[in-house]
Amino acid sequence: MRPTLAPLAFALSSLAFAAHAQTADNPVTGKALFENTPGTSGKAGITMSCPACHGSVQDRRIAISSATGGAADSNADISFDAAMTRFTQALTNQPDMRPFQALDLQQVRNIAAYMADTPKTTPTSETQLNFSAALTGNSAAQTVTLRHSTAVNENLQVTSVAAVGTGAANFVLGKAGCEGVTLTPANSCSITVTYAPSTSVVSTPDLVFTMKQGASTTTFERVLFLNGSIASTTPPADESGGGALGLGWLAALGGAVAALARRRRA
């Protein structure tokens, strides 16, 4: 008996996902597909829905986060790419999930978008934001946006926004637009961050958004890394001289070492 070529064809078609524009991916459609896969997909051969085996989308978020190096947390910041990769691998490798290979690529992408539909920052969490300013000066402000999930009924309450850690006092947060704010689904808020160093201490705090969803009392976080360095006010060092390093050099070096040492979740 000849082996079927369908899994191979599927695996090849799934390779194309990275090339597609993401704007068409729809977590609301993905939710409908997740909860009623036969009815919403209209594909022959699909008789079960995702919750029949997985219970809830939260269960899949925990699985995807754990499998990609994150915490076993249903509120984890799961990227679309991580959801797409784990889902397509499961479609290829899990015998129980083979019937879902009948889904078309856009349906697979919409389901992945739903699994990745948790609150997100722009720039994405764990990004390092670099700032430079003269001592007692001001850097250019940078904006960080927090966006609530789309395919949810509950609001998101932003309980606090803070710089936490070494040199935190050297950053000024314009956070009134987010802190204490309640976001309805798919809505966002923005803060500004300015580095205004009053001391030359290495300034590498975390920028922490703390939030909770609906009636839940469980808070969760999105964290970015701030890195402020003192702009050198002395001329560049003479390469032939081997002289003393300027303060900017020292601060930048210290910042780089600290950034390497401080990933929150190992």
Task: Quote the DSSP letter at residue 264.
Answer: S
The one segment of 1-9, 53-61, 170-178, 203-211 that binds ligand HEC by CB under 6 A: 53-61
Nearest alpha-carbon partner for 223 in 264, 179, 180: 264
Count residues binding ligand HEC (CB under 6 A).
Answer: 19
Judge whether 134 and 126 are in contact, CB under 8 Å. no
Site for ligand HEC in 59-78 (CB under 6 A): 60, 63-64, 67
Nearer to ligand HEC, 111 or 183 (CB): 111
In this complex, which beta carbon is closest to ligand HEC, that of residue 67 or of residue 208? Answer: 67
263 scored as a contact of ligand HEC (CB under 6 A): no
Best CA proximity match to 136, nearest among 211, 70, 228, 44? 228
Under rule CB under 6 A, which residues in 168-207 are in contact with ligand HEC? none
User: Please, which residue, 32 or 191, has the CB nearer to ligand HEC?
Assistant: 32
- In the complex with ligand HEC, the residue whose CB is nearer, 114 or 131, is 114
Residue 58 CB neighbour total at 10 angstroms: 14
Q: Confirm or reject binding of residue 20 to ligand HEC (CB under 6 A).
A: no
Residue 56 interacts with ligand HEC (CB under 6 A): yes or no: no
Q: Which member of 6, 8, 52, 72 binds ligand HEC (CB under 6 A)? A: 52
Q: Which is nearer to ligand HEC, 37 or 139 (CB)?
A: 37
Which positions from 87 through 116 interact with ligand HEC, judged by CB under 6 A? Answer: 87, 90, 94, 96-97, 100, 111
Paired tokens of 94: 């899990």
Should residue 53 be labelled a site residue for ligand HEC when binding is judged by CB under 6 A?
yes
CB of 122 to ligand HEC, least distance (A): 25
Q: b/e string for 119-130 if b means 16 or more Cβ within 10 A? A: bbbeeebeeebe
Could you give the C-alpha distances from 121 to 34, 85, 207, 251, 262, in angstroms and in order?
25, 21, 11, 28, 20
257 belongs to the binding site for ligand HEC (CB under 6 A): no
Q: What is the dihedral of CA 29, 33, 39, 45, to 10 degrees?
A: 140
Q: In whole angstroms, how far apart are CA 174 and each of 162, 183, 189?
A: 10, 18, 12
10 binds ligand HEC (CB under 6 A): no
Amino acid at 258: A
Query: Candidates 45-53, 147-155, 226-234, 246-254 — which segment interacts with ligand HEC by CB under 6 A?
Result: 45-53
Compute the distance between CA of residue 124 and CA of residue 138 in angstroms, rounded to an integer: 24
Q: How far apart are CA 158 and CA 29, in angstroms?
A: 27
Q: Give burial (CB, 10 Å; 0-12/13-18/19+) of 157.
A: middle
Q: Which of 31, 86, 148, 222 binds ligand HEC (CB under 6 A)?
A: 86
The yes or no reply on residue 42 touching ligand HEC (CB under 6 A) is no
Contact footprint for ligand HEC (CB under 6 A): 34, 37, 48, 50, 52-54, 60, 63-64, 67, 86-87, 90, 94, 96-97, 100, 111
